[in-house]
Amino acid sequence: MALTVERIDSPAGFGCYVHGANLNDLSDADFDKIEEALYTHKLVVITKQKDLQPQKQYELNRRFDRTASGLHGHGGKDEVLNKQFKGRQNITLGFPSVPGVDMVRLVGQGTFPPGHYGTTEPLTLAASSHRGFHLTPLDEETMEKERSTRFQRFHIDAQLYPDGNHTARVTSLWAHTLPVGPPLTVRLDDGSSQTITGAKPGRTAFMDSTYIFREMSPQDQQMVLHSEVEYAPNPYEWIINCKGQNSGFSLVSQGKELPIADLPDGEEGLQKVQRLPMCWINPLTNEPAFQVHAIIARKLHIRRSADAPFEVIDDLEEVRATLDRLQRPHLRQEKILFSPQEEGDLVVWYNRGLRHSAVEYPPSYGPRMMHQVHLQASDSVADMEKPGFVLRALEAAEKENSAPKA
Ligand SMILES: [Fe+2]
pLDDT at residue 390 is higher than 70:
no
Residue 333 or residue 6, greater confidence: 6
Which of 3-17, 63-77, 152-166, 189-203 bottoms out in mean pLDDT, i.e. has the lowest? Answer: 63-77
Asked whether the predicted pLDDT for residue 284 surpasses 50, the reply is yes
Q: How far is the CA of 358 from the centre of ligand 1 (A)?
A: 7
Does 47 score more than 80 pLDDT? Answer: yes
Confidence at residue 402, expressed as pLDDT on a 0 to 100 scale:
54
Report the pLDDT value the prediction gives residue 96, as an integer from 0 to 100.
85
Average pLDDT over residues 91-117: 82
CA distance 132 to 134: 6
pLDDT, position 86: 38
DSSP 136: S
Question: What pLDDT does residue 394 have?
Answer: 47
> Do 296 and 232 meet the contact criterion of CB atoms below 8 Å apart?
yes
Which residue has better confidence, 360 or 389? 360
Q: How far is the CA of 158 from the centre of ligand 1 (A)?
A: 8
Query: For residue 156, how far is its CA from the centre of ligand 1 (angstroms)?
Result: 6
- Give distance in angstroms: CA of 403 to centre of ligand 1: 37
Number of Cα atoms under 13 Å in the Cβ half of residue 89:
7
Residue 319 or residue 384, greater confidence: 319
- For residue 60, pLDDT beyond 90: yes
Average pLDDT, the chain: 89
Give the pLDDT score at 400. 52
Burial of 222 (0-12, 13-18, 19+ CB in 10 A): middle
**If pLDDT is split at 50, 70 and 90, which confidence band does 406 have?**
very low
pLDDT for the residue 405: 41
Confidence check: pLDDT of 6 > 90: yes
Write down how long the chain is.
406
Place 306 in a pLDDT band, splitting at 50, 70 and 90.
confident
pLDDT of residue 128: 82
How many whole angstroms from 399 Cα to the centroid of ligand 1?
A: 32
For residue 356, the CA-to-ligand 1 centroid distance in Å is 6
Dist. CA 281–CA 242, nearest whole Å: 31
Tell me the domain boundaries of the chain: 4-402
Contacts within 8 Å (CB) and 24+ apart, 78-86: none
Geometric angle at alpha carbon 22, from 17 and 26, rounded to 5°: 105
| Ligand 1 centroid – CA 92 distance (Å) | 9
- Ligand 1 center to 103 CA (angstroms): 15
Task: Return the pLDDT at 121.
Answer: 86
Of the chain, the percentage scoring pLDDT greater than 90 comes to 73
How far is the centre of ligand 1, averaged over its atoms, from the C-alpha of 209 (Å)?
15
At 384 the pLDDT is 67
Distance (angstroms) between ligand 1 centre and the Cα of 405 equals: 40
| CATH code for the structural domain at 4-402 | 3.60.130.10
Residue 84 has pLDDT above 80, yes or no: no
- pLDDT value at 69 more than 90: no
Q: Which of 73-87, 148-162, 218-232, 381-395 has the lowest mean pLDDT?
A: 73-87
- Name the pLDDT band for 340 (thresholds 50, 70, 90): very high
For helices 54-63 and 28-41, the axis angle rounded to 10 degrees is 70
CA of 70 to the centre of ligand 1 (A): 18
Is the pLDDT at 85 greater than 80, yes or no? no
Percent of the chain residues past pLDDT 70, beyond the cut = 89
- Is the predicted pLDDT of residue 397 greater than 70, yes or no? no
Inter-axis angle of helices 392-402 and 28-41, nearest 10: 160
**297 — pLDDT class (breaks 50, 70, 90):** very high
Query: 115 vs 406, which has greater pLDDT?
Result: 115
Q: What one-character DSSP code corresponds to residue 117?
A: T
Report the separation in Å between the CA atom of 311 and the middle of ligand 1, taken as the mean of its atom positions: 31
Which residues are paired to 195 by β-bridges? 187
